[in-house]
Amino acid sequence: MFRLRGKPLNTAEIERIVALLKDSELTLSEIAERMSCSRNTISVANRKFGVRNYGGRRSRWVATI
C-alpha cells in the first residue's frame, strides 16, 4: 500500500515515526519504507521534533530526545 501524494499523515502515524526515530537504529529510508511514505517525510518529522542530530553526517546520529 502506497501513500497518496500530498495526503497528510494522521497523528498515530506521526507518533509511530517519532517512536521509530527515537527507539530504533533504522535508517530514514528504512523507516520510510516501513511507513509507506517518502524519506523526505521522515526527514521533515525528524527536524520538526528534533529526534536525531546527524551533525552533517549521513549515517551516524546522536539522539537528542
Q: At what angle do helices 39-49 and 11-23 cross, to 10 degrees?
A: 80
Predicted TM-score (pTM) of this structure: 0.79
Q: Kind of pairing, strands 62-63 and 52-53?
A: antiparallel
Provide the pLDDT for residue 62: 67
Counting the structural domains of the chain, the total is 1
- 52 in a structural domain: yes
- 27 in a structural domain: yes
More confident residue, 56 or 22: 22
- 48 in a structural domain: yes
Q: What is the pLDDT of residues 4-28, one digit of tens each?
A: 566 789 999 999 999 999 999 999 9
- 37 in a structural domain: yes
The CA distance from 33 to 24, in Å, is 14
CATH number of residue 20's parent domain: 1.10.10
- 3 in a structural domain: no
Query: Model confidence at 1, in pLDDT bands (50, 70, 90)?
Result: very low
Domain interval for residue 31: 11-63
**Rounded-to-10 torsion of CA 8, 11, 13, 17:** 110
Which conformational region is residue 50 in: left (phi greater than 0), alpha (psi within -120 to 50 degrees), or beta? Answer: left
